[in-house]
Structure 1
């Protein structure tokens, strides 16, 4: 089985921190969805061509519609996308996720999701501080998150995830604790939490370069992450990936496929696909994407994945998870190499081996990038 990702790049306005491919050209929605549906048709045999040797078949286990802001789509365009999916793929629909902005969630949208068998919603809350939301150039107000959760539950969508961010300029520990507390009180099944990043090309990065803002103190940022782990654990959430916490039975299945070397197909501008032999990514330009699809050609670049690259991919993805890397699944030369490279970190108690699984300790999470770099083949 495999995952299907569909990228919807439309946003009413850009957030100051976002580095994902997006556009505010909402008038292109219809022709973009035309292209998505056509690409689904053009690539309907991508998964079945992999064969069982790669752990995939033509059955789509998870569907994830992300962006951008998918909740900006019209009802008709949502229906067209789901019709195209079911016409071209066999779907088990273990998990069907759509990303939403809180202020887009209405009774009509929730009813549509229910009709389309969407069973999971991922919502960009980011923070419950309205001043910080304005700083991020977010459209919604904090109270709209609570309202959106209530509406979704009323329509039977009970698997809800929210995103939080921390490490804002001038943010205090008290405001961060309030955000975590609010999220926990909402009783959502899943919470993702990310440290604020300054990605080149974003408004936030420009402000940093112009000395209009300053990055938060690194020690305070680490303390915030520590507080997050403690509070989430005390509230009964499982810390199953560096940035992700879930109630029992509610891990994100689609995203977990990325972290566990499961093949997936990506549809739309800037979408990525992976089949263990190659990795490919569609052009990050809506005009070029639409023009190419009109000529029945998917505009992508790709790279071949040799054994060393595959090993490095495992290090940078699987090691992020609570289970860590199953050494018995590695070729013997890679298993030997990773154990040798881990020796120093094991001695320093940043990495441990339990039941043939190499995993980060709590202390190791803080320097996970350094550890991964040490374990990779260059």
Structure 2
């Protein structure tokens, strides 16, 4: 809704995991016996929703999860074939697969490249086995290193790694080791997230019981600062709150989200957005499969009000290096919302949490630490 370009993205949610990580609250299931029925339902949904993107060119395809790398390369190719048949996919599209390190064997990597994947997002999370075991990750630190090297050797050079800081008992030395390790590898993109204790996860339950202790806030802040300092020293650009890139190899898919581009979400729990409405699929794979088979409803939808659209702009743009433009707010949403923004932003005039450059307002490092508070002030409730 904020971009005039006719381009779009497709997100495909693969809900299967071989085992559940103790911190993760994304929709997933370990019932991999449902995979074949799921793939048929997914292909059916793609065909049913072929007109959702209004024939806009698809510039990014992103397989998330769950753990998409539990599917074989042939199964992934089958899904891609349907996507390419039903949608207008750019010949230079960014096609990303989220993957677990222990799935990325040389043979599997070669097969992924041959069927069209040109970007991998590898879920490493930590380079210490004790933290990996505590999170119930199914790979070792050594497998994480091997996965990145093997992927690069297979000819997939656009590689992203995920790390988590703020883990229970994660020392500054360990965090520094993890960052040093990732920056030594042929990685062009890093997603670094602070651990969040989501209700319904094992970590949340243990935190409430007192068997798991949250890292002190000062230590988390120090780890975030270390992340940014080491990233700068290794020529990585901090372009979004949790994302850093080298050689401008931003995640094109996620950047399109933040810039207001339309996207189609396929699979259970997947979200779709077309500028006027938001739609989300049921978070239950059996219900999803049954509904697609029987032509039943499997989603909910909401129309976006003008306030919703303004809030969407604020919440996504403020996260990025591209920032917020007061002029753009007036053009897109009118003088009243531009005035609201100006009044709210004035509260922070002397707080050094914003910087202005070419009419764009972005968060300073100090502002990043209180970004949630700032967002709450700027949106319209």
The alpha carbon displacement at 1:75 in A equals 2.8
Mapped partners of 1:129, 1:167: distance in 2: 14
Mapped partners of 2:125, 2:285: distance in 1: 27
The alpha carbon displacement at 1:347 in A equals 1.9
Aligned twin of 1:5: 11
Aligned twin of 1:75: 73
Aligned twin of 1:54: none
Aligned twin of 1:363: 366
Matched, 1:64 2:58: no
Question: Please, which runs of 5 or more residues in structure 2 have no aligned partner?
Answer: 1-6
Aligned twin of 2:338: 335
Matched residue pairs, number? 370
**Any residues of structure 2 matched to 1:15-26 within 5 Å, and which?**
15-26=21-32
What SS is found at the alignment partner of 2:347? helix
Matched, 1:35 2:34: no
Q: Is the 8 A contact 1:282 1:298 kept in 2?
A: no
Aligned twin of 2:232: 233
What SS is found at the alignment partner of 1:15? coil
Aligned structure 1 segments of 4 or more residues deviating by more than 3 angstroms: none
Mapped partners of 2:347, 2:183: distance in 1: 37
Matched, 1:195 2:194: yes
Let me know the Cα RMSD of the aligned residues. 1.0
Mapped partners of 2:111, 2:80: distance in 1: 11
Aligned twin of 2:3: none
Normalized against structure 2, the TM-score is what? 0.95
Going from structure 1 to structure 2, the CA distance change for 1:79 and 1:187 (only over 3 Å counts) comes to closer
Mapped partners of 1:170, 1:306: distance in 2: 44
**Any residues of structure 2 matched to 1:43-122 within 5 Å, and which?**
43-48=49-54, 57-92=55-90, 93-122=92-121
Normalized against structure 1, the TM-score is what? 0.96
Higher alpha-carbon deviation: 59-68 or 293-302: 293-302
Question: Please, which runs of 5 or more residues in structure 1 have no aligned partner?
Answer: 49-56
The alpha carbon displacement at 1:297 in A equals 4.2
Mapped partners of 1:86, 1:297: distance in 2: 25
**Any residues of structure 2 matched to 1:341-356 within 5 Å, and which?**
341-356=344-359
- Cα-to-partner distance string for 1:55-114 (whole Å, 9 max, x where unaligned): xx4311100001000000023311210111011011114311000000000122111211
Mapped partners of 2:173, 2:243: distance in 1: 21
Mapped partners of 2:348, 2:162: distance in 1: 31
Mapped partners of 1:111, 1:85: distance in 2: 21
Mapped partners of 2:297, 2:129: distance in 1: 42
Aligned twin of 1:53: none
